[in-house]
Amino acid sequence: MTTLDDLLTPRSVAIVGASDDPTRIGGRPLSFFKSLGYEGKVYPVNPNRDQVQGIKAYPSLGDISGEIDFVLVAVPAKGVIDVVDAAIAKRAKTVMIFSSGFGEMNEEGQAMQDRLTGMARASGVRIIGPNCLGVFNSAINFYPTFTTTVERKQPKPGGLAIASQSGAYGSHIFYLAHQRGLEMTYWITTGNECDVHVAEAIKLLAEKEDVHAICAYAESIKDGDMLVEGLEIARANRKPVILMKVGRSAVGAEAASSHTASLAGDDKVYDAVLRQAGCYRARTTEEALDIAYAARPRIYPTGKRLGLVTVSGGGGVLMADAAEDYGLDVAAMPKDAQAIMKELVPFAAPRNPVDVTAQFFNDMTLVPKFTRLMLEQGNYDALIGFWTSVAGSPTISPKLRAGLVEAMAGGDRKLFIQSLVATPEICKQYEDEGFPCFEDPSRAVATMAALMHFGMAFQKGRAQTPDVPELPPLPEGAIGEKQAKEILAGFGLPVVEDTLATTAEEAIEAARKAGGPVALKIASPDILHKTEVGGVALGLEGEDEVRMAFNEMMTRVRTAKPDAKIDGAIVSPMIEDGVDCILGSKLDPVFGPIVMFGLGGIFTEIMGDVSLRRAPVSEATALEMIDELKGRALFEGARGAKPVDKARIAKAISQLSIFAAAHAGVADSIEMNPLRVLEDRCVALDALIVKRS
Amino acid sequence: MTTLDDLLTPRSVAIVGASDDPTRIGGRPLSFFKSLGYEGKVYPVNPNRDQVQGIKAYPSLGDISGEIDFVLVAVPAKGVIDVVDAAIAKRAKTVMIFSSGFGEMNEEGQAMQDRLTGMARASGVRIIGPNCLGVFNSAINFYPTFTTTVERKQPKPGGLAIASQSGAYGSHIFYLAHQRGLEMTYWITTGNECDVHVAEAIKLLAEKEDVHAICAYAESIKDGDMLVEGLEIARANRKPVILMKVGRSAVGAEAASSHTASLAGDDKVYDAVLRQAGCYRARTTEEALDIAYAARPRIYPTGKRLGLVTVSGGGGVLMADAAEDYGLDVAAMPKDAQAIMKELVPFAAPRNPVDVTAQFFNDMTLVPKFTRLMLEQGNYDALIGFWTSVAGSPTISPKLRAGLVEAMAGGDRKLFIQSLVATPEICKQYEDEGFPCFEDPSRAVATMAALMHFGMAFQKGRAQTPDVPELPPLPEGAIGEKQAKEILAGFGLPVVEDTLATTAEEAIEAARKAGGPVALKIASPDILHKTEVGGVALGLEGEDEVRMAFNEMMTRVRTAKPDAKIDGAIVSPMIEDGVDCILGSKLDPVFGPIVMFGLGGIFTEIMGDVSLRRAPVSEATALEMIDELKGRALFEGARGAKPVDKARIAKAISQLSIFAAAHAGVADSIEMNPLRVLEDRCVALDALIVKRS
């Protein structure tokens, strides 16, 4: 098993293609090792020079007598394979390849890159890159990178770690994080990811004790299982993972995939899977860094109850608006605590947001009084204070800070974000006392929401998933509706009872048994869209109607689809009432089978009101899926309907997810659509199983 | 007619309650007049002193012999009325009241405030405040305000103007705007708004030539008509109005209304009306200032076609994602222009986002070449470039800037926002060339979207609205369904033809005439919710079914509502197909009658998928309303349905809006629900007119 130390804490490093010019790609790392003080052994490899930047050089890796942990490759693409061969021969642990001209270039390059993948797998050597900008471990001053950013901003060791597929963007994030005063020990860019990819980097960082928060950037995920594994390790270790998975949009996804030549995957699936695994998906770089910054005190509120205190009514309203946007609970202060506040400041609005007015700055003894009342009586999970630029003044700032520190002493350690306009120096004084500072109050609220997400995800822990049994294989060939229903019913899923009729008389007999109006649907493994070929007739009553419908349907369908194998027609009872839902699963190229539940038809197709999860899910998780729907009110008795038994739906969702997981290798998509949900039962009126092509 | 000059450009000012202590509320303005150089006449009024801050003081306003344009009142609340009386006697144009203790305090205070309103109306004097933090006109160094912010940040005259109901938040916005280098001549805070309110301030600023952009903050709007008028003047004069209308959330609205003691109004109505009038509603202070900042070059793109150019593939993907979030069009470059780019930089991704790679910084002659190709061949409405912190370096920055300036010379003046990480000094050099700078690329895109909103709103101009005719008054008393349908049909609105039956036999006769299955609905002006009392029966066929349904309904309803006046039952034909919509209007307390159109039932109630506009609207605007719906696909043939005639729906929307506007004084809400939309017609199956209580 590779550890982060194997990759980033080598005792010796060789630079193949080392340049004497410290501004060139092959020269910069050597220059950094020297100037920034890496203490391991450094071996420049350059067949044309005895010395490189004043250090003894070797003609080839093989000429080095000592052990080499880390080989940095900065030679043109065509020479890379030979260098990696030599590195394997020298039993290097890690090879990092700067060189471009691989998968990002053309098919020939991709073939070379695939060969590198094979070499890594076969030998056990770990390869970072190719087309990679480098990594660093600032704790040992190890800077094998050609980004100029570390010249301009030398990292300070500390708890934030960055993993980025893109080198340029990874440098950019590092630069901005440094500018915000964030300390970073580890920085990893993975480039074309022939072997080590961002998902593994996240996992390795999550396992490492001196990493406290991970900020990652990815255009694609090579291994969905490993990503989830890494995220769950991070959750278990209480480390927030802030992931920028870009390519959310159609154009963005296309740009990302042309950039990294990788499969996009469904963006909504990313959203769902990342949330499920406790990760926070940031939409902008600024948002990601806001969260990384505010995570520094390592306090993650375990609920959404937010207390707001302000010297400006306007600031309070703005924060309350933002809190609602993010689904936070701006609960009111208890009445008696409000009365105490009113006694202290008659002009105060003590509900929440608590508006203490400018009186706060006139009488600083109010600061700890109000804050303690909010912490002790308001029972908030966290607080945000809005103080304007007045709090940034050198005379007022120290008094405010002292009051806040006094208020927080004693009680539980809670997060209190300060929104004020101040110089970086004054902000730092607040930060040193454990108070993150934000100029914009709405950004403070957005960041708070993210930290609450982490707090609740850490508390909740990894979701239990049901065991996936070994199931009998799916039948050969295409699976028709009737067969699909039988297979699903055989696994305990609720599907309507129906009968295959091969003649009109059989259809009439089946209708009689059903004992009410029936539906007739064409039975053919070759026809997926029955309505389009006239293969559906609804609400048939009486012998004559059924006979005519059967005969006409056979004629219509044979005309429309002369080559289709037709087994007959399926006769099923009409179920008029209830809410139409869709329950299904789809094989995602990154994360495997994804179970989906939503309201039927228009809601799913036009409103996109569906819940997704990685299969399998427990019934408890399935209940969460139901409650995520905007249209959930329909299950709770909206519009005069009777509330339905959600547990029954949850059981069906969980069962279907287990079925999908059991057939992950074979089934592409499974659908129970519509799944008719009634007061006391739910039942699929139609079903579909499509196998992978 | 008041002008901005009447309020903010006085030749003389009296300060009643002037204090010798320059740190007190009554002392600060005088101190600012002296130190910042106001050249008008200044008369301190203080009965206890001969001089105030070294200037001759007067015992009362009446003791001043010269003319007084502007009277500033800084005495306790109980003395304010007398001062205003004296100011009116002195024929002052404007009175501004710092004093608090009015509407924000208690009922007694509100009564005094109402008296002030009356005095303003009767005398023609304009009153700003009470409970107001002040105003300024930096062009003449006129600072009648007690905010300390102008001591710390002295404004520079310029085109941005700020209007804010909240004084504290208004100061905060001013501080932040100044910190961003924005020049401001006018700043107005309106406090309790007994006379001058934010809507009028926006209008006055919109009329003033030296104002180029308006940033406003409001917790409530006192006069919806004047706001719309002001916004339309701003649009006609090509001035962006960026409005923070806060109190979007339930808690926020409550906090805002307790803060300003004013009516909330429906937030969705604000959204719709503001957009309709060309205004941009900012959700955060940062967003508002981003837009004000980027509006400085006064270039407003007239379309959504956005060109993106980047040195990092990642940055390009991020911007494309953000562009999709904001509905912008990241259209591809033409193929032949892409080929030219590929020749220039073989590694480039030339589609859009155009990724020029780090090669850009190695060969700066590429900058104008690529930019010109995008401007001339890509035909974009605007560009954003992403350059990371590399462009912030003192050696690279001037070359990049020169290349960009060279590229923009000649052709049409287009907006080109630069996303780079640089010092304020380096950013200023870009700004001086007309390039707004943003550190975060996603924020650059969000801001671009707002500027495009303005460009398109300016180009489109004020929407034509239909004339509102004088209509016969609505009948006395409550209006039942049958009568509502007749009234609406009488105005040409499509409602189902139905018959009032007072006996079962009449119902049978009516059903026979309808010639198919019918619906029966209780006819009573006292019953609004028919289903709840068993007053609806659907799909009735044949004499017996109709008779039984009629008789049972009468019994049920009489039992459920013994006091209701029952006229009989309405018989109408069943219309099975089509899409159910809702068309209606509702009287908004701020903006008057608002017309609403949406998909029926669940979509409106649960998904909130409705379009709103101020009534009346033209058919063209009504078509826009239809196209705003998420569910519009249902009208365009989604799910196998036939596309419907949108023009027919638009005509109904426009007609209903005219009807609502004509009865604005009397009707509270009007509803045609469901409005059944079919391929070749639309028809309301039910209707409701509720009068104001």
* B308-349: pLDDT as tens digits: 999 988 999 999 999 999 999 999 999 999 999 999 998 889
**Helical H segments across B537-688, by residue range:** 542-560, 602-605, 619-628, 646-662
Is the pLDDT assigned to residue A486 strictly greater than 60?
yes
Chain A residues with CB-CB distance to B630 below 8 A: 606-607
Is the pLDDT assigned to residue A256 strictly greater than 60?
yes
Distance between A492 CA and the closest CA of chain B, angstroms: 31
Of B207, B184, B214, nearest to B279 by C-alpha is B214
Mean pLDDT of B31-60: 96
Q: How many residues does chain A have?
A: 693
Distance between A312 CA and the closest CA of chain B, angstroms: 6
Which of A317, A602, A631 shows the shortest C-beta gap to B256? A317
Cα B170 to Cα B521: distance, rounded to the nearest angstrom = 56
Is the pLDDT assigned to residue A375 strictly greater than 50?
yes
CA distances for A391 relative to A425, A445, A527, B170, B172, angstroms: 13, 19, 70, 16, 11
Pair B354, B309: CB distance under 8 Å: yes
Which of A249, A251, A607 shows the shortest C-beta gap to B607? A607
Which of B151, B321, B341, B388 has the most A C-beta neighbours within 10 Å, making it the best mutation to test the interface with A?
A: B321
Interchain pair A283, B442: CB under 8 A: yes
Give the SS3 label for residue A43. strand
Query: Tens of pLDDT along B383-439?
Result: 999 999 888 888 899 999 999 999 998 778 899 999 999 999 999 999 999 999 999
For B347-364, the DSSP string reads: T-B-SSSEE--THHHH-T
Which of B175, B255, B317 shows the shortest C-beta gap to A349? B255
- Interface list for B 279-298 with A (CB within 8 A): 283-286
Pair A108, A77: CB distance under 8 Å: no
State which residue of chain B sits closest to A325, comparing Cα positions. B249
Q: Mean pLDDT in chain B? A: 92
Is the pLDDT assigned to residue A424 strictly greater than 80?
yes
Does the CB of B172 have a partner CB in chain A at under 8 Å? yes
Mean pLDDT of A460-468: 95
Interchain pair A351, B323: CB under 8 A: no
Does the CB of B355 have a partner CB in chain A at under 8 Å? yes
Pair A188, A201: CB distance under 8 Å: yes
Grade residue B264 by pLDDT with cuts at 50, 70 and 90.
very low
Mean pLDDT of B655-664: 97
- Residue tagged 């013994």 (tokens): B562
Distance between A330 CA and the closest CA of chain B, angstroms: 7
Chain B residues with CB-CB distance to A606 below 8 A: 630-631, 633-634, 638
- Residue tagged 């309103």 (tokens): B117
Which of A164, A349, A634 shows the shortest C-beta gap to B259? A349
Query: Tens of pLDDT along A293-348?
Result: 999 999 999 999 999 999 988 999 999 999 999 999 999 999 999 999 999 998 88
Tokens of A568: 């007959």
In B486-525, which positions are buried (b, 16+ CB within 10 angstroms) versus exposed (e)?
bbbeebebbbbebbbbeebebbbbbbeebeebbbbbbbbb
Query: Tens of pLDDT along A174-191?
Result: 999 999 999 999 999 999
Is the pLDDT assigned to residue B680 strictly greater than 70?
yes
Query: Tens of pLDDT along B77-92?
Result: 999 999 999 999 999 9
Chain B residues with CB-CB distance to A285 below 8 A: 318, 440-442
- Interface list for A 439-478 with B (CB within 8 A): 439-443
What pLDDT does B579 receive?
86
Interchain pair B639, A602: CB under 8 A: yes
Interchain pair A607, B605: CB under 8 A: no
What is the pTM (predicted TM-score) of this model?
Answer: 0.93
Q: Mean pLDDT in chain A? A: 92
Chain B residues with CB-CB distance to A322 below 8 A: 283-284
Cα B344 to Cα B672: distance, rounded to the nearest angstrom = 62
E strand spans, B346-445: 354-355, 382-388, 415-420, 437-438
Q: Which residues contact B281 (CB under 8 A, 6 or more apart)?
A: B243, B244, B245, B270, B271, B274, B275
Q: Which residues contact B349 (CB under 8 A, 6 or more apart)?
A: A255, A258, A259, B313, B316, B355
Cα B379 to Cα B368: distance, rounded to the nearest angstrom = 16
Chain B residues with CB-CB distance to A442 below 8 A: 283-286
Cα A2 to Cα A561: distance, rounded to the nearest angstrom = 57
Q: How many residues does chain B have?
A: 693
**How many inter-chain contacts (A to B, CB under 8 Å) are there?**
247
Tokens of A203: 């996992």
In 3-state terms chain B splits into helix, strand, coil percentages (rounded to 5) of 40, 20, 35
Interchain pair B389, A149: CB under 8 A: yes
Q: Give the 3-state DSSP-derived string for A222-252, with helices as H, strands as E and coil as C.
A: CCHHHHHHHHHHHHHCCCCEEEEECCCCHHH
Cα A478 to Cα B340: distance, rounded to the nearest angstrom = 49
Does the CB of B166 have a partner CB in chain A at under 8 Å? yes
Cα B320 to Cα B297: distance, rounded to the nearest angstrom = 24
What pLDDT does B97 receive?
97
Grade residue A639 by pLDDT with cuts at 50, 70 and 90.
low
Check whether the bond before A353 is cis (ω within 30° of 0).
yes
Grade residue A258 by pLDDT with cuts at 50, 70 and 90.
low
Which of A168, A217, A421 shows the shortest C-beta gap to B311? A168
What pLDDT does B361 receive?
78
What pLDDT does A640 receive?
64
- Residue tagged 């306003």 (tokens): B61
**Helical H segments across A305-440, by residue range:** 313-325, 335-344, 359-362, 366-376, 396-408, 424-432
Interchain pair B171, A609: CB under 8 A: no
Of A173, A165, A176, A167, nearest to A144 by C-alpha is A167
DSSP letter for B332, please: P
Does the CB of B627 have a partner CB in chain A at under 8 Å? no
Does the CB of B531 have a partner CB in chain A at under 8 Å? yes
Of B576, B578, B575, B574, nearest to B518 by C-alpha is B574
Q: Which residues contact B361 (CB under 8 A, 6 or more apart)?
A: B311, B390, B391, B396, B400
Pair B91, B67: CB distance under 8 Å: yes
Which of A152, A353, A390 shows the shortest C-beta gap to B255? A353
- Interface list for A 220-249 with B (CB within 8 A): 244, 246-249
Pair B124, B107: CB distance under 8 Å: no
Mean pLDDT of A243-247: 95
Beta strand pairing status for A184-189 and A135-137? antiparallel
State which residue of chain B sits closest to A599, comparing Cα positions. B602
Interchain pair B255, A355: CB under 8 A: yes
Mean pLDDT of A203-230: 96
Distance between B217 CA and the closest CA of chain A, angstroms: 9
What pLDDT does A260 receive?
47
Which of A172, A325, A639 shows the shortest C-beta gap to B605? A639
CA distances for B448 relative to A250, A380, A651, B310, angstroms: 19, 38, 48, 16
Cα A86 from chain centre: 39
In A622-650, which positions are buried (b, 16+ CB within 10 angstroms) versus exposed (e)?
bbebbebbebbebbeebeebeebebebbb
Interchain pair B389, A358: CB under 8 A: no
Of A157, A127, A153, A133, nearest to A145 by C-alpha is A133
Cα B588 to Cα B569: distance, rounded to the nearest angstrom = 33
Check whether the bond before B130 is cis (ω within 30° of 0).
yes
Distance between B97 CA and the closest CA of chain A, angstroms: 18
Between vectors from CA A454 to CA A449 and to CA A456, what angle results, nearest 5°?
90
Query: Tens of pLDDT along B437-450?
Result: 999 999 999 999 99
Does the CB of A541 have a partner CB in chain B at under 8 Å? no
Mean pLDDT of B563-567: 91
Query: Tens of pLDDT along B122-175?
Result: 999 999 999 999 999 999 999 999 998 888 888 999 999 999 999 999 999 999
Query: Tens of pLDDT along A80-125?
Result: 999 999 999 999 999 999 999 999 888 999 999 999 999 999 999 9
Grade residue B257 by pLDDT with cuts at 50, 70 and 90.
low
Query: Tens of pLDDT along B454-479?
Result: 999 999 999 999 999 999 999 998 89
Mean pLDDT of B176-205: 97
Mean pLDDT of A502-519: 91
- Residue tagged 């002001």 (tokens): B230
Which of A166, A352, A358 shows the shortest C-beta gap to B314? A166
Q: Is the dihedral of CA B28, B30, B35, B36 positive or negative?
A: positive
Interchain pair A393, B152: CB under 8 A: yes
Query: Tens of pLDDT along B225-250?
Result: 999 999 999 999 999 999 999 988 87
Cα A87 to Cα A84: distance, rounded to the nearest angstrom = 5
Is the pLDDT assigned to residue B263 strictly greater than 50?
no
What pLDDT does A261 receive?
42
Check whether the bond before B353 is cis (ω within 30° of 0).
yes
Interchain pair A389, B152: CB under 8 A: yes
